[in-house]
Chain A
């Protein structure tokens, strides 16, 4: 996957914390820490967006209906890839 470089200014205390956890073996480098933090933030934000959607939606389908639709998707994807 192509990547881009970003320069981020952080308070010294945060850098100190990052260096300490690297020293203690939780992360291999500052890059490793920051990449992991960004990924976690993307994950949590996606979760919040989906949670908002859950609250706003008007129509909810039953569990039985969901299983039927899940099976339909499974059949369709299988056909597309393996047939």
Chain B
């Protein structure tokens, strides 16, 4: 079965938008169409972001929602460390690197993100980046017509 690395922005958009393709991606997991992958970084970024804008409780509910996604695979720090500096030269923003490394460490087939800057970096030749909308299309599911495929 295909594996899809879900970037942090997928979960942030899910909460921010009334309805979004990001939300449909999370829903699609329940249909067993792909194995969802995140990393320990995803949890830390979601908590950092939501605690600063909402409350500790909201951040915790989101963490619980992610943690209980059916069949979720979580890439650990050790797995990210093991990839080393292999892709460093191809990623302009070093803070994006742990996510790129998590994608490779988990042998994911897709990297689902709305981070357009990341998808334009040299790494795009090696990573199969997809917007939530394009990923849903790839799965043969209906999509919403939203700006940037979010």
- Residues of chain A touching chain B, judged by Cβ–Cβ distance below 8 Å, are 36, 39-40, 42-43, 46-47, 49-50, 53-54, 60-61, 63, 66-67, 69-82
Contacts and interface: CB of A to CB of B under 8 A. Distances in A.
10 closest A-B pairs by beta carbon, nearest first, are A43-B68, A78-B95, A46-B65, A73-B49, A73-B48, A46-B64, A77-B44, A74-B95, A73-B45, A42-B68
A54 to B, nearest CB: 7
Interface on chain A toward B: helix, strand, loop, or mixed SS?
helix
Contact of B13 (A66, A71, A79, A80): A66
Contacts of B68: 39-40, 42-43, 46
Contacts of A80: 44
A70 B15 contact: no
Contacts, number: 85
Interface of B: 8-9, 12-18, 41, 44-45, 48-49, 52-54, 58, 61-62, 64-65, 68-70, 77, 94-96, 98, 114-115, 147-148, 150
B53 A69 contact: yes
A75 to B, nearest CB: 5
A66 B62 contact: no
Contact of B12 (A42, A46, A66, A77): A66
A73 B70 CA distance: 26
B95 A50 contact: no
Nearest to B94: A78
10 contacts: A46-B68, A50-B14, A53-B58, A54-B15, A63-B16, A70-B45, A77-B41, A80-B44, A81-B41, A81-B98
Contacts of B58: 50, 53
A39 B44 CA distance: 21
Given A46-B68, A76-B48, A81-B41, A70 B53 contact: no
A46 to B, nearest CB: 4
